[in-house]
């Protein structure tokens, strides 16, 4: 396993503890911003308890649940309360450590006693094991781990302050921008910047750290460059991708455009650094996590009075990246269809699974019909027309010698399901695509005598023959 993959997986674990709780972070940020802005004692009373107790305990529960389901979440929460009590700083790092660790310890204990509990004593052993092990870890955390983690948190905070005070924060773009196309953005954004930014909120009321990874400017600059100077599918796809990137906040949409011409990392770094420099000069920040990194989320979480300044920083990052990307895109020939298709595949390989935005590039990706073994026939209720259509298509598959192909009927609301192809009525196609994004969709008007059935069967047979 490569270092990149290991870091990716580590980042995924960190983000899995933070992302499910982003709503709580946003709630805390809004209460903090409004409470400070209007100087309301009732709203200000939320700040410290939520920061010191609610948010770390939610992270700990998510981390424990990730390792050992609900039992892991419970013991992770119990263990983390120890480091919270034993420290004077907010225990985000402590929660990220003790949540999964305590759940892992409980899991090992359960494996050790598996099959050794007398019948009828399972419930009492399961409950008391969580209580006893959790209490022991909590005490250890309070006495020893809490002060140690507090010191570590202080080192991180001092490092951030050093970068801010010496105007070195723009240099973080050297790490952040190349990391994003390699799908290390969650490791940086949710694992490092979110906890550190939240600590800054307590003293400053806002944090520029929330803008470093979520800034859509650099990625938008690359997409705009392809929109005006790209060729073929790279040019046509960039239009829709830019909308998804800027307003949807799904930044991975621009990753294939960078991967097919990796030298574009340089404009991204420069643009990201200039954007961050503008943020620091203008002294702007967000009051909470902007996730996804949509311009809408960023505006909603902007500190009061910072909206226009933040837009200026994003615009600067976009413009500089755009200008610097133009000659590099022209030199590469504008990006042909094959290059973008290959880059999209590379993106999926880097991520370790099919990306949620890969459907944007379906027009340039080759669908492998040779692997089709399950076909879903979907309609509004999953009975009636879909049942009849599935029967007709199944018979045609059998007659064509495709004995391993299974056709089943299902309601649209019960999608997604395990299938490579979805057949549906033409008027229902948009609904199917909304819930089953990874499947190849076929729209028919006549569910009994649709010519698309024969076309699909022929494609499957032809693809299998070509593979032989």
| More confident call, 194 vs 141 | 141
pLDDT recorded at residue 317:
96
Token look-up 């781990």 returns 145
Token look-up 């089953």 returns 436
Rounded to the nearest 10 degrees, how much is the dihedral formed by the CA atoms of 277, 8, 63, 199? -10
pLDDT recorded at residue 364:
44
- pLDDT per residue as tens digits for the range 347-370: 555 555 555 555 555 544 467 888
- Lowest-pLDDT choice from 157-166, 241-250, 262-271, 381-390: 381-390
Q: Print burial letters for 92-107: b (CB count within 10 Å at least 16), e (below 16).
A: bbbbbbbbbbbbbbbb
Nearest-angstrom CA–CA distance, 321 and 226: 12
Among 101-110, 258-267, 330-339, 375-384, the range of highest mean pLDDT: 101-110
Of the pLDDT bands very low, low, confident and very high (cuts 50, 70, 90), residue 183 is low
Give me 390's structure tokens: 């599935």
Contact 314, 295 (CB under 8 A): yes
Nearest-angstrom CA–CA distance, 405 and 394: 8
Give the DSSP letter string of 110-135: HHHHTT-SPTT-HHHHHHHHHHHHHH
- pLDDT of residue 344 exceeding 80, the answer is no
Whole-number mean pLDDT of the chain? 82
Phi, psi of 61, rounded to the nearest 5 degrees? -65, -45
CA dihedral over 342, 346, 348, 352, signed as positive or negative = positive
- pLDDT of residue 133 exceeding 90, the answer is yes
Give the DSSP letter string of 44-96: HTTHHHIIIIIHHHHHHHHHHHHHHHHHHHHHHHHHHHHHHHT-SS--HHHHH
- Quick one: which of 345, 322, 197, 338 has its CA closest to 271? 322
- pLDDT of residue 135 exceeding 80, the answer is yes
- pLDDT of residue 387 exceeding 80, the answer is no
Nearest-angstrom CA–CA distance, 300 and 298: 5
Nearest-angstrom CA–CA distance, 401 and 37: 71
pLDDT recorded at residue 154:
74
- Lowest-pLDDT choice from 39-48, 129-138, 182-191, 279-288: 182-191
- Tell me, what DSSP letter sits at residue 244? I
Give the CATH number of domain 369-467: 3.40.50.2300
Strands 374-379 and 406-411: parallel
| Catalytic status, residue 274 | no
- Quick one: which of 273, 274, 205, 262 has its CA closest to 30? 205
Residues above pLDDT 90, as percent of the chain: 31
pLDDT recorded at residue 271:
95
Q: How many CB atoms lie within 10 A of CB 336?
A: 17
Q: What is the mean pLDDT of residues 228-243?
A: 82
**Vertex 175 angle, CA 331 and 146, to 5°:** 165
Q: How far is CA 14 from CA 134, 192, 369, 379, in A?
A: 22, 9, 37, 39
**290: helix, coil or strand?**
coil
- Tell me, what DSSP letter sits at residue 366? P
Q: What contacts 456, CB < 8 A, 6 or more positions away?
A: 369, 375, 393, 421, 423, 442
- Residue 406: exposure state from Cβ atoms within 10 A (0-12, 13-18, ≥19): middle
Contacts 24+ apart (CB under 8 A), 33-42: 33/205, 33/206, 33/287, 33/288, 33/303, 33/304, 36/205, 37/304
Nearest-angstrom CA–CA distance, 446 and 426: 9
- Quick one: which of 192, 233, 419 has its CA closest to 342? 233
Q: Where in the chain is the domain with CATH 3.40.50.2300?
A: 369-467
Catalytic residue among 274, 318, 379, 419: 379
């Amino acid at each position: 396993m490569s270092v990149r993959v290991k870091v990716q997986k580590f980042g995924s674990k960190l983000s899995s503890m933070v992302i499910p709780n982003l709503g709580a972070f946003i709630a805390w940020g809004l209460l903090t911003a409004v409470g400070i802005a209007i100087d309301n004692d009732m709203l200000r009373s939320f700040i410290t308890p939520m920061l010191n107790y609610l948010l770390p305990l939610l992270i700990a529960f998510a981390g424990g649940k990730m390792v050992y389901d609900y039992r892991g979440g419970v013991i992770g929460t119990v263990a983390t309360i120890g480091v919270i009590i034993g420290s004077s700083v907010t225990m985000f790092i402590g929660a990220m450590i003790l949540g999964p660790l305590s759940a892992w310890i409980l899991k090992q204990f359960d494996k050790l006693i598996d099959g050794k509990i007398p019948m009828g004593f399972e419930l009492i052993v399961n409950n008391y094991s969580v209580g006893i092990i959790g209490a022991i870890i909590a005490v250890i955390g309070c006495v020893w781990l809490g002060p140690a983690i507090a010191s570590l948190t202080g080192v991180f905070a001092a490092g951030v302050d050093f970068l801010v005070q010496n105007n070195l924060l723009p240099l973080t773009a050297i790490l952040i921008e190349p990391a994003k196309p390699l799908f290390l953005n969650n490791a940086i954004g949710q694992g490092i910047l979110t906890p550190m930014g939240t600590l800054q909120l307590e003293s400053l009321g806002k944090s520029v750290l929330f803008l470093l990874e979520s800034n859509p400017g650099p990625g938008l600059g690359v997409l705009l460059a392809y929109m005006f100077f790209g060729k073929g599918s790279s040019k046509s796809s960039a239009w829709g991708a830019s909308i998804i990137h800027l307003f949807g906040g799904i930044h991975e949409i621009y990753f294939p455009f960078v991967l097919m011409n990796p030298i574009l990392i340089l404009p991204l770094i420069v643009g990201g650094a200039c954007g961050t420099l503008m943020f620091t000069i203008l002294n702007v920040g967000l009051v909470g996590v902007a996730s996804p990194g949509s311009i809408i989320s960023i505006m909603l979480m902007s500190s009061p009075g910072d909206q226009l300044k933040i837009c200026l920083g994003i615009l600067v990052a976009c413009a500089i990246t755009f200008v610097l990307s133009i000659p590099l895109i022209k030199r590469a020939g504008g990006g042909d269809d094959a290059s973008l298709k290959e880059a999209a595949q590379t993106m999926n390989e880097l991520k370790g699974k099919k990306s949620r935005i890969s459907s944007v590039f379906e027009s340039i990706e080759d669908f492998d019909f040779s692997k089709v073994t399950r076909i879903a026939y979907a309609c509004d209720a999953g009975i009636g027309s879909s049942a009849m259509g599935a029967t007709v298509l199944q018979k045609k598959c059998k007659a064509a010698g495709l004995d391993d192909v299974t056709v089943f009927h299902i309601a649209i609301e019960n999608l997604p399901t395990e299938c490579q192809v979805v057949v549906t009525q033409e008027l229902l196609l948009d609904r199917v695509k909304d819930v089953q994004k990874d499947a190849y969709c076929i729209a028919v008007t006549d569910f009994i005598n649709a010519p698309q059935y024969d076309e699909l069967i022929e494609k499957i047979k032809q693809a299998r023959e070509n593979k032989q």
